[in-house]
Amino acid sequence: MTKFALSVAATDGAARTGVLTTAHGDIRTPAFMPVGTAATVKAMTSEAVAETGADILLGNTYHLMLRPGPERIAALGGLHKFMNWEKPILTDSGGFQVMSLSGLCKITDQSVTFRSHLDGAKFELSPQRAVEIQNLLGSDIVMALDECTPFPSTEQEAADSMRRSMDWAARCKAVWEAPTGRGLFGIVQGSVFPDLRRESVEALTTIGFDGYAIGGLAVGEGQEAMFDVTQATAGSLPTDAPRYLMGVGKPDDIVGAVLRGVDMFDCVLPTRSGRNGQAFTRSGTVNLRNARHKDDSSPLDGDCVCLACQNYSRAYLHHLVKAKEILAATLVTWHNLTFYQDMMAGIRGAISGGGLQAWVDGFLARYAGDREPE
């Protein structure tokens, strides 16, 4: 079986491009991971997600833990088989959703106890159980359990929270059996405090992980602070391990973070927007509810090769959105995911060619040109 390893093929400043090999195949980096919360990328078949060009998707441990349950998925052959996705899967640790979605009961150094947002049932999630669940799911990339530090926090609160996450990271590593072709990632915390981020990087690299995530960002700190933390953190992480910026983000966030050394991204934006009739195009966002699309026979994005752009007009998509047809969600999500994958392909090509900054300048100049907020 394949070794879990990042092979960097080219760099351009802090940015790099290459391939992350896993048990379920290669991931071209920088990579964008569509979010498949409840064992489905909402409104899309797995076959359609693959057609958008995605090499990997993200599953949510919290949701799958509550329903249908990791033991059940394992008995059914694992998450890949369950949702018919044969390429790599990364699962988050559940920490973020436990703290944002559930009825939180108690958090200790050992674990977090919470109530399901579905039916109020009580669950306990420990660092060890987070790894166990992700192993039951069969994830190619397993995330260490971390505490989601609220924003804003005082430096003391952020420090206490970060140190608990570092302790949990060590407990996760202690039970990790390093299965071939699969990796365990630690998550850097420390809010917007540079000293805490440094301490967190040191703690994680001392433990040693197969990859490192930058957590606790895109929570309201603003793009400048996000870029500052990302740049400092990415720059202090090992060069031979993948770097994953969690929950980011908008197209301009992603290109900025790649310039600062990030390899992997996930975000609900293309899928959630897709269900709301909000589309990403090369000239900016487009709100398909807008009546200006009513009689427009042109495609959403003339440069896009997705099913929606090849086969359907803006007028048709506008009609579907207005009529609240399910197909609206499917087609706009399909397009948005294709847009994100095309953007990542453009980024990878530009890094290989040594002209990333020029590519980003061109992309942003065009992208900012015609925004249409939702």
Catalytic residues: 92, 266
User: Which one among 2, 9, 13, 77 touches a second copy, defined by CB under 8 A?
Assistant: 77
- Residues in region 300-319 near a second copy by CB under 8 A: 307, 311-313, 315-316, 318-319
Does residue 58 interact with a second copy by CB under 8 A?
A: no
Cα–Cα distance, 284 to 16 (Å, whole number): 26
User: Which one among 2, 7, 84, 180 touches a second copy, defined by CB under 8 A?
Assistant: 84
Does residue 322 interact with a second copy by CB under 8 A?
A: yes
Structure tokens at 338: 């294709």
Could you give the string, one character per residue 150-179, with x where binding to a second copy holds by CB under 8 A and - elsewhere?
A: ------------------------------
Does residue 320 interact with a second copy by CB under 8 A?
A: yes
User: Which one among 327, 345, 357, 364 touches a second copy, defined by CB under 8 A?
Assistant: 327
**Choice between 57 and 226, CB closer to a second copy:** 57
Q: How far is the CB of 280 from a second copy (least distance, A)?
A: 19
Does residue 119 interact with a second copy by CB under 8 A?
A: no
- Residues in region 270-299 near a second copy by CB under 8 A: 275, 294-295, 297
Q: How far is the CB of 52 from a second copy (least distance, A)?
A: 14
User: Which one among 72, 122, 366, 371 touches a second copy, defined by CB under 8 A?
Assistant: 72
- Part of the chain binding a second copy (CB under 8 A), chosen from 65-73, 189-197, 202-210, 224-232: 65-73
Q: Which residues bind a second copy (CB under 8 A)?
A: 38-40, 42-47, 67-68, 72, 75-77, 82-84, 275, 294-295, 297, 307, 311-313, 315-316, 318-320, 322-323, 325-327, 329-331
